[in-house]
Amino acid sequence: MSAFLSPDSTARTAGVRVVSPVLPSATQRALIQLASRSRITQMELAAGKCFLASLDFAIQANSIAELTLLRWQVKGDPDFVEHWAVRMGDDTALDLTRIQVDGQTSVVKKIASYPAGYLLKGDYPVSLFASGVEAFGGLENLCIRTALLMRWNMVAHDVRCAPLIGKARFVWDGAGELERYLLRVLFSGWRQKLADRRARLLKNLQL
């Protein structure tokens, strides 16, 4: 599939997207049914799971249709940096963690209906991430190095698909995103260590 910079790019659409074929209605129904079984309907369980839920679904659905992942940069929300879903056709997303977006649990959502703070960054083939998943025997076994490699593949895809005149901007933006992602990973690990240490101290005090 060819990729291009969306000609109708606005303030909310700033990335590389993939031309999506029109899926037969039977295929769409099968995808919606599978997504509905895989969705996360509780806010506390959905937090931080949009990428893994979307990727897991897209891998499962590979026998039904070849899908791409959608990524939004989320602005103005201290709890979320980005959001992921799966593209189904040109204007529709299958959102496994939609409850984080608008409180609804239906998996079908029009791409244009996402909040104003959601900046659509682009489409990403599942193949960019699937090899890393297979190498570690499943999503639950992913390590930080593999997650960073996936992020690198994503940035490289953006740069490769960008028009020549826009490559420098994608390189610059990609480098910044890699840096921010690494900092988030390191901070998350540090915060988890503090939480574990606090739990051990509390346990010792109770003895």
Question: pLDDT category, 142, cuts 50, 70, 90?
Answer: low
**Mean pLDDT score of the chain:** 75
Using CA atoms, how far apart are residues 48 and 30, in angstroms rounded to an integer?
Answer: 26
What per-residue string of b and e applies to 124-159 under the rule 16 or more CB within 10 Å gives b? bbbebbeebbeeeeeeeebeeebbebbbebbbebbb
pLDDT over threshold 90, residue 159: no
Beta-sheet pairing, 118-125 with 13-18: parallel
pTM of the model: 0.68
pLDDT over threshold 70, residue 16: no
Choice between 166 and 59, residue whose per-residue pLDDT is larger: 59
Choice between 165 and 155, residue whose per-residue pLDDT is larger: 155
pLDDT digits (tens, 9 = 90+) for 125-134: 888 887 655 5
Question: pLDDT category, 11, cuts 50, 70, 90?
Answer: very low
Distance of CA 21 to the CA centre of its chain: 21
Question: pLDDT category, 48, cuts 50, 70, 90?
Answer: confident
Question: pLDDT category, 158, cuts 50, 70, 90?
Answer: confident
Mean pLDDT of 34-40: 96
Confidence at residue 10, expressed as pLDDT on a 0 to 100 scale: 35
Question: pLDDT category, 178, cuts 50, 70, 90?
Answer: low
**Strands of 118-125's sheet in order across:** 3-5, 13-18, 118-125, 68-74, 82-87, 92-94, 108-110
Using CA atoms, how far apart are residues 98 and 115, in angstroms rounded to an integer?
Answer: 12
pLDDT digits (tens, 9 = 90+) for 71-126: 998 988 877 888 999 999 889 999 999 999 999 999 999 999 999 999 998 899 88
Got the DSSP string for 157-197? HHHHHS-GGGHHHHHHHHHHHHHHHHHHHHHHHHHHHHHHH
Which residue(s) pair with 3 in the sheet?
18
Lowest mean pLDDT among 44-53, 104-113, 145-154: 145-154
